[in-house]
Amino acid sequence: MSFIQSLFRQHFHVIKNTGYLSIIEVIRLIMPLVALPYIISVVGTYYYGLIAFAQVVIYYFTIFICFGLDTSVVKEVAMHRNDKNLLSEIISSVILIRCILALISMIVFVLLIVSIPFMKTNAVLFIFSFLMCFSEILFPVWFFQGIEKMKYIALIRFSSVLVYVVGIFLVIKSKDDYLYIPLLQAFGMVFSGGIAFYIMMFVEKNKFIIPNKAVIKKYFLESVPFFIARISGEFNVSMAKMMSGIFLGMNDVAIVEIAQKISSFAQVPIGMLNQALYPNIAKTKDRKFVNKLLPIMIGIILFICLFVLIFAPFLICFFSDSNMMEAVPILRILTIYIFFAGIVAFTGSPVLVAFGFSKPSNNAVIYSTLVLVISYVILYFVNNFNIYSFIIVLVLSEVYMAMYRMYYCYKYDIFSYKRFYCF
């Protein structure tokens, strides 16, 4: 108890940011889930699965546009937030890099639409979904995280979701309206991105400059490992939906999507805490503080997992409908994933990256992807392709990633048994 009290006193601003952000983020995530039963009842499971499949494909473009910059430049912003000239240089470099990557993405996207029959048949759906990519240019999450003003992120994201949810209930009235779902989502995201960009440039009084090519190259190259790790991580998470769509059907995609949405919602408290902690730990590199946080984080994660495990039927029924109860066992399996994903998240940016060990953090994701791919190859040869096997493979890859990062946390003496018991 004394440690918790001391922790609260010493890191009040971190705890305040975390609490504020978590409340808004929970609201932001729960609102689309509230709209989910309505969406499924109006457009049906097939079209919902089709939308989910299209968004999985498009999400890879958003990752490419982000290019790991959301992680790599946070530390730079945190260290130089009082130097307006250097801060403007960082901001301008990120914007230019993302604009170039967005242009490349558009060219590749058009080529895919033209050459892949399934995408060509559903071209309008994919185009509307692709519009979400433009929010990645505008929304500077990395900036607000670096200056430790997470309230901006929370409030603006909330506005985005509010626009989306209100639009769903006003516009979506029949199956034929399913195309408007990704369009409304894209509109909300671009709208909020514009607001965030305005705050960064005019409220926070930064300016756009033409940075030196060497500076742009520097930030680009520094983000490469984070990009590889990010796309590998997304590959791991999305493959269950991708494989379901390719080998099973859109109804199975919908089942996996619903279970994963609830799973993602359950991970919000850990994610928000990590966002708030990262800039602070990156500056202080306080090993004792991080070591004491570990059991607290594990306790929070375990509580969340038990809650989801027990109330899985209620959660599925509440956020979809009684026809989607096939997702219950999937969600229960995912509680194992939630636990290890929490460990993965905490030992990533807030710990290994913050202490300067980004390589093992990124390698963990890459190697877990190899575990995933090998597992899928084995499933193919034993002819065991179903949603249960897809989810189990996802869990196994996450377990591997968590163990890998924990090993290096102890190897580099970030975590230690000695500090754990020294209060």
Mean pLDDT of 40-52: 89
User: If you search the block for the tokens 């058009």, which residue do you land on?
Assistant: 110
> 112-124: per-residue pLDDT in tens?
999 999 899 999 9
Mean pLDDT of 284-294: 83
List the Cα angle 371/53/306 in 5-degree steps.
60
Q: Which residues contact 337 (CB under 8 A, 6 or more apart)?
A: 263, 391, 394, 395, 398
The Cα-based distances of 241 to 49, 54, 218, 253 in angstroms read: 9, 10, 35, 5
pLDDT (0 to 100) of residue 250: 85
pLDDT (0 to 100) of residue 423: 44
pLDDT (0 to 100) of residue 173: 92
DSSP assigned state of 308: H
Other residues' Cβ atoms within 10 Å of the Cβ of residue 69: 27
- Output the six-digit token pair for 237: 């998470």
The yes-or-no verdict on residue 416 having pLDDT over 70 is yes
CA Rg, the chain, in Å?
21
384 three-state secondary structure: coil
> 53-103: per-residue pLDDT in tens?
898 889 889 989 988 887 778 878 888 878 888 888 889 999 999 999 999
The yes-or-no verdict on residue 219 having pLDDT over 90 is no
Strand boundaries in 42-151, DSSP class E: none
> 127-163: per-residue pLDDT in tens?
999 998 888 888 888 888 788 777 777 778 778 888 8
